[in-house]
Amino acid sequence: MRKSRKKPERILLLIFTDCFSATYASARNKFVDAAQAAGATLSQYIHPSAVGKIGEALTIDVAHLGNRSADRQLLVISGTHGQEGYAGSAAQVGWLLSSPDKPVLGDVGVLLVHGLNPYGFSHGSRTNENNVDLNRNFVDHTQPYPENPGCDKLHQALTPLVWNRESFDSVSRAEADFLAEEGADALFSALVAGQYNHPDGLMYGGNGREWSNLTLERILCEHIGHASKVAFIEWHTGIGEYGKPFFLSFNELHSDERRQAENWWGEGVSDARPHGMERPTYSGLVFYGVQAFLSKARVAGAVIEFGTRGPEAGAVAMRQDRWLRFHGEAVNAEMQTLMRADLRDSLNPASYLWRHAVLDHAVALTDSAVCGLARW
């Protein structure tokens, strides 16, 4: 990635306690306070039925600042995967606190969507209230769903009734057999591409549009439906080197949109191989939904991940998250607490070094997108 331009003086004063939070409710408050201080227009979209871990209301909060009527708009989304919302929220708050009242904002608008999956954010789960992975939900639900025979084959091994060493070994044997037969890239695709046959399984894309899917369409139409050019950032964690950004662009390889993203963030946008594997054909990504909802606009950008504990920790975290949802009552409260702490640390390492790195990179990458968008 290109060397980032010098950061504004304010970011040097930011520490992770300014931006990271311990709970969903705290993250919401920090986001709203930072957005108000930056002069943004705030909107709330309240979930009609689900509630948070402590009974709190669940909302997608939206901040719009800069030139809100400009035909160039930056869209920044956090919390698609609820557990990853802590880093995504901190990235948004950090940018808001880094004095975003720059002259370039007279030419572009910035729309920050905070906590796209508020249920998962509050409850500490990747998925939403229906065990749906929102980043697999943006398919055309009137058409036959994409098939994932590899996931079908592995489903039983990946969804054990008990959480112990024997079940771990069973998963390892099933994956080793699949690897020997199909290869590493096919195994990775089976695990992460998305599936629509097992509501109790991993990477389940749902059997209809979820509330967050419908609400994102409403948000985009209400706030940036007029835009002709949209820059896109969706914050995630889990892929890449520890504390460093990893780019997954879903624009066509040789398109102008892909070139724009490369101009903003460097050649790493196109060289990325998640965990060193061939990129799967992901189904139902949020990015595809954004393209469909803003069909008159050109959308350029990337999912930006921050590396955490490595691929094995991420894989175990997804299985552990799913097991706690469906079978967590089988263990005592202390064990649940320990498992949830481990789960959170896998995707949001409890280290000030990691949090500082995420914060510094996120602010610089957002600034690069804003400035690049203004030149596009």
Closest by CA to 80, choosing from 136, 4, 38, 33, is 136
Closest by CA to 31, choosing from 83, 81, 77, is 77
User: Which residues in the chain come in under a pLDDT of 50?
Assistant: 1-12
Residue 312 makes CB contacts below 8 A (sequence gap 6+) with: none
> Running DSSP on this structure, what letter comes out for residue 250?
-
Is the alpha carbon torsion for 207, 211, 217, 218 positive or negative? positive
CA 119 vs CA 53, 55, 315: distances in Å: 8, 11, 21
| Domains defined for the chain, CATH in brackets | 9-140+213-311+354-375 (3.40.630.10)
Q: What angle do CA 89, 123, 245 make, to 5 degrees?
A: 35
Residue-level pLDDT at 237: 98
Task: Check residue 203 and give left, alpha or beta (phi > 0: left; psi -120 to 50: alpha).
Answer: left
The rounded distance, in Å, linking the Cα atoms of 58 and 72 is 30
SS3 375: helix
Residue-level pLDDT at 268: 86
pLDDT in tens, 79-124: 999 999 999 999 999 999 997 667 789 999 999 999 999 999 999 9
Contact by Cβ (8 Å): 181, 269: no
| Tokens linked to 138 | 């943006």
The rounded distance, in Å, linking the Cα atoms of 13 and 7 is 11
SS3 376: coil
Closest by CA to 318, choosing from 82, 89, 65, 94, is 82
pTM of the model: 0.94
Can you list the alpha helix ranges (DSSP code H) found in 225-351? Answer: 256-265, 268-271, 286-293, 311-327, 333-347
Residue 37 makes CB contacts below 8 A (sequence gap 6+) with: 96, 97
Can you list the alpha helix ranges (DSSP code H) found in the chain? Answer: 16-19, 24-37, 85-97, 118-123, 149-158, 165-182, 184-192, 211-224, 256-265, 268-271, 286-293, 311-327, 333-347, 352-375
Contact by Cβ (8 Å): 348, 87: yes
Task: Check residue 238 and give left, alpha or beta (phi > 0: left; psi -120 to 50: alpha).
Answer: left
Task: Check residue 99 and give left, alpha or beta (phi > 0: left; psi -120 to 50: alpha).
Answer: left
The rounded distance, in Å, linking the Cα atoms of 67 and 71 is 9
The rounded distance, in Å, linking the Cα atoms of 306 and 87 is 9
Residue-level pLDDT at 2: 43
The rounded distance, in Å, linking the Cα atoms of 282 and 369 is 24
The rounded distance, in Å, linking the Cα atoms of 179 and 46 is 44
Residue-level pLDDT at 4: 44
Task: Check residue 110 and give left, alpha or beta (phi > 0: left; psi -120 to 50: alpha).
Answer: beta
SS3 53: coil
Residue-level pLDDT at 34: 96
Q: What is the DSSP string of 135-160?
A: GG--S-TTSPPPP-HHHHHHHHHHS-
